[in-house]
Amino acid sequence: MLPAAPEFVYLCETSERLSATATPGGPLQGLTLGVKDLFDISGLPTAAGNPDWLATHPTPNSTAPVVQQLLAAGAQLVGKTLTDELAYSLNGVNIHYGTPLNPKAPTRLPGGSSSGSAVAVAKGVVDIGLGTDTGGSIRVPASYNGLYGLRPSHGLVSLEGCMPLAPRFDTAGWLTRDLATLAQVASVLLPPQTAQPMTELCLLLPEGLALWQPIAECLASALAGQFERVRVEILSAEMMATSSALFRTLQGYQIWQTHGSWVSEHQPHFADDIADRFAWCQTITAEQQAEAEQQAAQFCRDWRDRFLPNPDSLVILPSCPGAAPLLAMPAAALANYRNLLMGLTAPAGLLGSPQLSLPLLTDQNAPWGLSLLALPGADQALINTAQALQPLLTEVITN
């Protein structure tokens, strides 16, 4: 049975089966934790946002290593949080278990698929929201709920004991209300890295996103003294459409390879939009996948050459096209918006790059995230840069 708060599927204090407990004295002591219901916790079901998944999978008898790391560092588990069905959505809507209420913009989507983790953090119920990010499932709800959210470099944080969606792109990430807490979690989960200073900044202007252009121009002027080189580059509509299409094809092919047999055998009840995407995944051929991989390799070379040419290069771009869509947005409009959104989120997935969303912008009186993106392996440098720049970024944007 679900608790009253729809962001949770399970509150740990209501069960005697919870075996994971915090270790006192660690760097995360005193911080509370919500864990997306894709990660296994010994003795607790993993529903992955769908009752048919829950009914066809046994209760785990072990806990995912990333959860163990957080608990060993002193974090106190509050509960497991809601996810979109099999994590295959960016909206935060779940027809089976409800839609968590975005506390910063109640008439708008909370963002998914780490919806429960994001809302629990935004409401102050937990300090750390553990989630996953494949196509934007940390960055998008961070933007919509006014949170800090990190998608780490691909493969940097263990996904053992976590239900996969598309392993080529899946990452484990986290959401917090402040940058200091995000950095504390990073000190626990990220391996040691050489965090060299970022000396070259590229501010991207996504074509057609008029409300971002004056912000980017102000930032370029204000940040000129912080970097050896600052430039502004157009992110063309063609490049955004290409990255979105390539990502969706490669992700979709892997999704069907990962879950196709289960879907075919059990015929689960999905929301219409998610069911349509699974049906489309089934149509992607190996030849289409191979062609997309070749095109993606060229896309990544072009992206790095233009925007991230050096190990100390940094990109700033909006996390999303603007404020979260309204809950009442028609399905067709929401599908079109998803394609535009993926044009901003797909590059990090294709590159395997870390991307950090900062809650510094507003649109229509609702939160809107600004992102820092770097080459794979520059996670700690990205966090250090964000900590150094945040006062100036905040001053420029608020003025």
Q: 227 and 198 in contact (C-beta within 8 Å)?
A: yes
Q: Quick check: is 353 catalytic?
A: no
**How far is Cα 191 from Cα 187, in angstroms, rounded to an integer?**
8
Catalytic residue among 36, 114, 353, 357: 36
Q: Quick check: is 36 catalytic?
A: yes
CA neighbor of 132 nearest in space, from 83, 186, 191: 83
Peptide bond into 236 cis (omega under 30): no
Q: Lay out the sheet containing 366-373: strands in order across.
A: 8-11, 76-81, 32-36, 128-133, 171-176, 148-151, 355-363, 366-373, 313-318, 200-206, 229-235
Catalytic residue among 89, 137, 244, 371: 137
The alpha helices in the chain, defined as continuous H runs, are 51-55, 65-72, 115-122, 139-145, 179-189, 213-222, 237-266, 272-281, 286-307, 331-351, 379-398
Q: Quick check: is 158 catalytic?
A: no
**How far is Cα 371 from Cα 385, in angstroms, rounded to an integer?**
12
Alpha-carbon torsion, ordered 111, 10, 19, 181, to 10 deg? 30
Catalytic residue among 80, 104, 113, 371: 113
Tokens found for residue 122: 């935004």
Residue pointed to by tokens 């000190």: 187
The secondary element (H helix, E strand) that includes residue 232 is strand 229-235
3-state secondary structure of 27: coil
Which residues have a catalytic role annotated?
A: 36, 113, 137
